[in-house]
Structure 1
Amino acid sequence: MTPRIRGNDYTVLEPPALGSAWTPSLRASVVIPAYGAQEKLDLTLAGLAAQTYPADLLEVIVVDNGSDPPLRLPEIRPRGTRLLVCEAPGRARARNAGLAAATGDVIHWMDSDVVPERAEVEAHMRWHHLAPYLSVTSYLRFSTAPLPDPEEVAGTDDLATLFEPAEPHAWIEDLVARSQGLTRSPRPFSIHIGGASSANVRLFERAGAMDPDMILGQDTEMGYRLAQAGAVFVPDPQARAYHLGPSMRMRDSERINRVSHALVTDRVPGYRWLRTHPSRQWKVPQVEAVVDATAGSYDEVRATVDGVLAGTVTDLAVVLTGPWDELAPEQRAPLKDPRLDLVLLRAHYAHEGRVRLAAAPPDTLSPYRLRVPPGWSPGEDGVGALLATARERELGLVSVLLAEDAEGIVTARLERTEAFARAALIAAEGENADDLVDEMFGTYWADGETLGFRPFGEAAPYLNPRAAYRARVSAQAEVERLTKEVERLRGQVAKWRDEAGRWRKSAVEFRREIGALRKQISALRRTQGQSQSQGLRGIARGLTRPFTFKKS
């Protein structure tokens, strides 16, 4: 039975030790996009020629992305190595050409300036034999050592002797360390790098090819789509390789981030902190709501769609499903048209940018899909509350009980895309997707009334979007004002504490001075008392001495 991995906790799997007696059967396709730098490509292929993974299960596809002079295959290379030419510029197009030509069960991306250690491919493939929905990433070290000869690379069991000292891939190692080995990361797809990552070909069939419009950030965007296809991401410190020289990000991180963030923000809802605008739309929305236009009247469907669009969650789109292609463009007697309600819905939402008409719910890249029955509208923050529940508890499904009677129950559903995609990958015949999602991600039932869901005719009036926006801006300003006031008061308290400390110190010193003065006074009193006593005693002696008159 295919393992059911909960969340991204791949630690439930037990891969065989490297070099142990295990029998691989999956074929690996290493895809290497390359542009120039023949001497580095020679070292990459020399490293692949020395791999411990069986040669008959390994193919290598080098894609020349318009090099001048053209690249060639060196003498030292794996037996199953092919050279393709991709004239269209861009690393994404080169990778897609290699992906289309690959025949393996697993696609292993590798850059043409990465030299793998002998067991690197084996380290990846031992994981893929355990589950068909894994994405494995190597640990890279960045070397600035002089380039050795290919013969040296192919002939050594220890690349460290050739490429050390080297720097670690710091941000990946830090991410893994902070997230308990990536098992507690909310965005494990971030670890997907094109330099040395692999995934089962079934995931690529669901996720699609690389986006050629992504001039930078394509590895992250590809990782996000693999996640929505159901992937579990595995960082393997035993899968090691050397990157020849620093990465682009190491050389110019500020400019790289500026470009990649501009492109990634539109396509990866997971990076919510990049979506700072309160109401604009993105290519891939955070939530995709689905409403069946055939399951209610025009008024009921409209109430549901408008209610979803009127909520506080604006990073959202609606798919309105129905037989739109079957509708006649014109009718001589429109009021007698049996599909008049569908005609009205099509006309009503034809120019609404957040509503799309479709025959059936398409595959989605949105991390969440909301299904709402016509005639029910969520409260102003109903969708936001559903999202908060799903995120905080890392759930795969939140079901909302709307109504219950003798005929059954009426529900809305917030589905996590990657959870249901993974369930589809592993489901055996007869297995229920909801049960699998519950096993791997968890499910939860919520009360519709608490979330503000109301049936048609009872929904609260919609807030004016501009007024709501102004209210949010005003509230944010008030929060900022109060935050500043709290900081000011904290500073004042700190000042008072310092002042109180100085007063306490002064009081202690004052007490010490009083004590010293008291001692001095006591000493003076004792001295004065002794003098007085001596004088009185002298007087007393004089008075008691016999008194005689002298004769003159």
Structure 2
Amino acid sequence: MSVEGAARRVRGNDYRVLRPPERFTPELRVSVIIPAYGAQDKLDLVLQGLARQTYPAELTEIIVVDNGSTPPLRLPDGTSARLVRCERPGRAAARNAGLAEATGDVIHWLDSDVVLTPGAVEAHMRWHHAAPYLSVTGYIRFTAAPLPAVLPDDLEAAFEPAEPHAWLVGLVERTEGLTNNPVRPFSLHVGGATSVSARLVEAAGPMDEDLILGQDTEMGFRLYQAGAVFVPEPRARAYHLGPTMRMRDQQRIDRVSHAFVADRIPAYQWLRTHPARRWKVPNVTAVLDGTAGYEAVRAAVDALLASTVADLSVVLVGPWDTLDRDRRAPLQDPDLDLVLVHGHYEHESRVLLATREEVHPSVPFVLRLPPGWVPGEDSVARLLNLARAEGLGLVQVLLAETPGGVVAARLERVSALARARLVARPGEPLDDAVDDVSGVRWVVGEEYGFGNEPVELVGRRAAYRARVRAEAEAARLAKEAERLRAQVAKWRDEAARWRRSTVELRREVGTLRRQLHVARRGQDGVRAVLARRMKRVLTKRTRG
């Protein structure tokens, strides 16, 4: 990776700051992983397409994974690819088998019915040489043309007319190339023609083999959580030989996929419509010190469990493994508060009693609450709304100022902190890097419902209704302020019009005065002339 590329930081998903060069010196190795089941004729064409790539062959590793084909797949003579057998059914298992064999700096997923144009791999790799945290997806066109025995030189002539990947193209166009703060940029991760930094894949983990469908999107979400930037590359073109299963039966595919991915992708809030159920991966996890005293811990945890955000879990960190439950005099136990906290929440499914911080890596947001502070029932929802609306990576909640410094809660966007760790310079505070890649905002805790005393819980519905009323009142006041601003503007316009009228009137009066003055001078001149004439006449008459 170039020094110039390392110095640039991508804010959100605006990868345009990277500006990869048109010409670069290839250095990174790429492992192309092709899961395949049957269809030897299509696989042969795919391998022929890979043999024509402009990216150096010595930096390209091709791994074909036979996912239980009968008869077994074979590699054409002269190919540099390796063949791996995977008996576990499913494309995710086959990809993981190939991943276990891969040695490249970049992992390039490729389906066994997708033929790359000659410059496709190079178009991918120019981005990966610019930054080590990218997921790059090429543009696939779907062809119904008959399969040739040998791949022709002119792929366009052979496979056009073809249909574009309409969903992908639509997503890119709606979000200005996926740069305008897209809500779900990870949706771009499709297994047909996507390349990913091997470091990101290692951080995110392999594909989920328990999923029936939707494995590509689910892994894309985990890559996003690990700090990935998602790049659509139109010059990385490819032809899909025939339609996909989704194109043939999208509604049934979505029905199956949505049943499983809702549990694993909290960003799909539109799939989580149940008002109270618990999901495998919560949208928010709150981390608290479980040793802060029974009453203080209980006040904070109970408020969190009553939050208007039901999609939430709590981690209480403490030395729970050291507690002695067999003491004969429990009231004399020096660890009595710990015992009470443990006993009170041991069977609460949304609370995890952990000896160290344990947050599922796919949780999008983590709330860190200092001891002694209690959120309001709508506090978490309001912080989430702020973070989403402004694309923030960190919201700092100012709770108190002490001689030793400020006391603050933190709402962290996990993906932003992961990105910040990837780009932080030695010795640089992590929050500064978060501010660069996503944004940091300070708010006052009191204004967001935080306090240091237990509060009476009114219930999720009542808290939600209170928020709705507050938002309605805020909207009413905003509307009234807008009306008053419009009225003031109208008065200003009216005053300006009167000022203009006054100026014009003064100008007209001045003109009339000047005209009158001229007229008076003219009259005086006429009188003088008449007087002189009369004088001459009288003089003549007198002399005569």
TM-score band (shorter)? 0.7 to 0.9
Per-residue displacement from partner, 1:295-348 (whole Å, max 9, x unpaired)? Answer: x11211111111111111111111111222233343233333332222222221
Residue 178 of structure 1 is matched in structure 2 by 174
CA distance in 2, matches of 1:198, 1:328: 52
| Residue 162 (str. 1) matches residue 158 (str. 2) | yes
State the Cα distance separating 1:359 from its structure 2 match.
Answer: 2.3
| Residue 9 (str. 1) matches residue 14 (str. 2) | yes
Task: List runs of 5+ in structure 1 lacking aligned partners.
Answer: 480-552
Q: RMSD of the TM alignment (CA)?
A: 1.8
Residue 397 of structure 1 is matched in structure 2 by 394
CA distance in 2, matches of 1:50, 1:84: 22
Within 5 Å, which residues of 2 pair with 1:323-342? 323-342=319-338
Residue 214 of structure 1 is matched in structure 2 by 211
State the Cα distance separating 1:360 from its structure 2 match.
Answer: 2.2
May I ask how many residue pairs the two structures share in their alignment?
A: 462
CA distance in 2, matches of 1:398, 1:279: 26
Per-residue displacement from partner, 1:45-98 (whole Å, max 9, x unpaired)? Answer: 111111111111100111111111111111253x2x111111111111111111
Give the match's secondary structure for 2:349.
coil
Q: Could you tell me whether the CA contact under 8 Å between 2:299 and 2:455 is conserved in 1?
A: no
Residue 149 of structure 1 is matched in structure 2 by 149
Within 5 Å, which residues of 2 pair with 1:242-281? 242-281=239-278
CA distance in 1, matches of 2:250, 2:236: 25
Give the match's secondary structure for 1:449.
helix
Structure 1 counterpart of 2:456, from 443, 451, 461: 461
Give, as a single letter, the amino acid of the residue that structure 1 aligns with 2:20. Answer: P
CA distance in 1, matches of 2:252, 2:387: 35
Per-residue displacement from partner, 1:271-306 (whole Å, max 9, x unpaired)? Answer: 211111111111111111111213x11211111111
CA distance in 1, matches of 2:358, 2:166: 39
Give, as a single letter, the amino acid of the residue that structure 1 aligns with 2:396. Answer: S
CA distance in 1, matches of 2:321, 2:29: 44
Residue 85 of structure 1 is matched in structure 2 by 85
Task: List runs of 5+ in structure 2 lacking aligned partners.
Answer: 473-544
4+ aligned runs moved over 3 Å, structure 1:
none
Give, as a single letter, the amino acid of the residue that structure 2 aligns with 1:298. Answer: Y
Per-residue displacement from partner, 1:437-483 (whole Å, max 9, x unpaired)? Answer: 0011110001100111110xx33211245x649x869x99xx9xxxx
Within 5 Å, which residues of 2 pair with 1:211-360? 211-294=208-291, 296-360=292-356
TM-score, scaled to structure 1: 0.81
TM-score, scaled to structure 2: 0.82
State the Cα distance separating 1:427 from its structure 2 match.
Answer: 2.0
Q: Could you tell me whether the CA contact under 8 Å between 1:49 and 1:76 is conserved in 2?
A: no
CA distance in 1, matches of 2:320, 2:35: 43
Structure 2 counterpart of 1:189, from 186, 189, 198: 186
Residue 510 of structure 1 is matched in structure 2 by none
| Residue 442 (str. 1) matches residue 439 (str. 2) | yes
Give, as a single letter, the amino acid of the residue that structure 2 aligns with 1:182. Answer: L
Q: Could you tell me whether the CA contact under 8 Å between 2:52 and 2:118 is conserved in 1?
A: yes
Give, as a single letter, the amino acid of the residue that structure 2 aligns with 1:373. Answer: P
Give, as a single letter, the amino acid of the residue that structure 2 aligns with 1:13. Answer: L
Q: Could you tell me whether the CA contact under 8 Å between 1:46 and 1:76 is conserved in 2?
A: no
Give, as a single letter, the amino acid of the residue that structure 1 aligns with 2:302. Answer: D
| Residue 56 (str. 1) matches residue 52 (str. 2) | no
Give, as a single letter, the amino acid of the residue that structure 2 aligns with 1:353. Answer: S
Per-residue displacement from partner, 1:392-449 (whole Å, max 9, x unpaired)? Answer: 1100000001111223211100000100001112223211110000011110001100
CA distance in 1, matches of 2:160, 2:77: 26
Per-residue displacement from partner, 1:354-402 (whole Å, max 9, x unpaired)? Answer: 1112222235211111001122111121001100110111000000011
Give the match's secondary structure for 2:10.
coil
CA distance in 2, matches of 1:368, 1:222: 18
